[in-house]
Amino acid sequence: MAMTAAATTLRSLLTRGVGTADARSILGAAVAAATTMGCLLIRKHPDRTTMAVTGVNLGLLGGFGVYCLALVARAGRARAEAHNEAAASHNQLQKLIDNTESIIYMKRVDNGRYLLVNREWERLFGVSRERVVKLDDHGVFPPELAGELRANDLQVADAGRTVQYEETADSVDGVRTYMSVKFPVLNSTGKPYAVCGISTDITERKRAEDEIRRLNSNLETRVAQRTAELEASTKELDAFAYSVSHDLRAPLRSLHGFSDALLEDYGDVLDDVGKDYLNRLQRNVSRMGRMIDALLNLSRATRADLERATVDISAMSQEVIGDLRGTDPDRSVELIVSDGLTVEADPHLFRLALQNLLANAWKFTATRDNAVIEVGRTVHSGDSYFFVRDNGVGFDMAYAGKLFDAFQRLHTTSDFEGTGIGLATVARVVRRHGGHIFAEAEVDRGATFYFNLMSLAKEAG
């Protein structure tokens, strides 16, 4: 090793035979010499008499008695430790990126050569990392693709920011789709010296998304077809119901008219049995007429377009009960209606539903001396409901599932007249408004019908 200026100074001091007063200068020169030549390790000898620097015995330092041994190893050891730390960091980074499913690579900005790749990159492109670190993109990919990749790397380096994009690439597994991220890696001066890329395979996700879109498209098509078929079937059914009910009215009017004529013109020659027969005929004709009206109402509840407006339920309930009192003025029924009950609904269809509910309550309290009908609002299972309640004969909840089906009756016609269509119409109106209806009752202890309608805000949402 060539002798440095510091080592020359140290030798000069020692050859002059300095005394104790110059020991500090000698020590400083020794440290300087050893530092420039390598590294200094100083130890005190028990007899404190001699000194050695860089492995050379420097002799006695007078009576100062310090033994200093300087070894030219510190610089070399520091370099070795730095190299080992760098290698350990590299190994840790390599293990980290090798244990991910994403493709990771880093390339130099100046010449485009690869600095590192992970195992997934090796697997996908079939080039080992030992080979690729000596190559650029032109050594791995076709010229056109390599040129595009190089241009893209330079754009990322110039932009100095992260970019994200979707791309496809050929592999041994076929064409794959990736979500890629590229970002510049800066040196100590803040300039990009490398570009790092991370690409995540989203091929299966894209296939799943495409399959979902295909299924949704097919589902929408099937739903549209089924909806069109259902609408056509409903229109046909409505037309049939309207035609039947319209055509039935003429013979019913004829039956009713001729039975009236018989009673009027030949009542004196008919005995009581004959008159009873005619009366029964007229009652059944009237019942058939009511059933035709109910069928038409049910059809209208299904077919009519909704035209929402604010409906005053409180006032409408008073009006409907007023009409019922007019048909049976001898009855005494207490009506309790909460004030301020309003809802956004089709006024005509809502009146149809409310008429059926209140008519039922009126009918099934006929056997009560202290009949009570109540209309109000309550909260049931956390939701707000309107209700119509009566203290009539009620019904067995075991049969509640039949309540809202057409022509299903829980009481005989001999006990309570009816068509079996009223509650089906109510349910149809409520469902047309996006609402829910149910009932609670006990035999001989009355019944309560709860219903709500979807608000305009919810419907719009």
Domains by residue range for the chain, with CATH: 5-76 (no CATH), 100-201 (3.30.450.20), 215-303 (1.10.287), 305-460 (3.30.565.10)
Q: Which residues of 18-43 are buried (b: 16+ CB within 10 A; e: fewer)?
A: beeebbeebbebbbbbbbebbbbebe
Nearest to 448 by CA among 363, 365, 361, 369: 361
Q: CA 256, 258, 263 angle in degrees (round to 5)?
A: 95
Q: Taking Cα atoms as reference points, which of 134, 135, 105, 108 lies closest to residue 121?
A: 105
CA-CA distances (angstroms) from residue 413 to 10, 196, 324, 363, 427? 130, 85, 20, 12, 22
With CA atoms as reference, report the closest residue to 336 among 269, 389, 268. 389
pLDDT of residue 6: 52
DSSP 100: S
Residue 34 corresponds to which amino acid?
A
Paired tokens of 149: 């990749």
Question: What are phi and psi for residue 403, nearest 5 degrees?
Answer: -55, -45
User: Looking at residue 74, what is its pLDDT?
Assistant: 46
Q: What is the pLDDT of residue 25?
A: 56
Question: Coil, strand, or helix at residue 130?
Answer: helix
CA angle 436, 437, 440 (to 5 degrees): 140
Q: Give the mean pLDDT per block of 10 residues along the chain (461 residues).
A: 52 49 51 48 44 42 34 48 69 79 90 91 86 90 91 91 83 78 89 90 84 84 82 72 71 81 83 84 77 70 76 93 88 92 89 89 89 93 92 85 68 57 84 90 90 63 39
In this prediction, residue 48 carries a pLDDT of 46
Cβ contact 358:321 at 8 Å:
yes
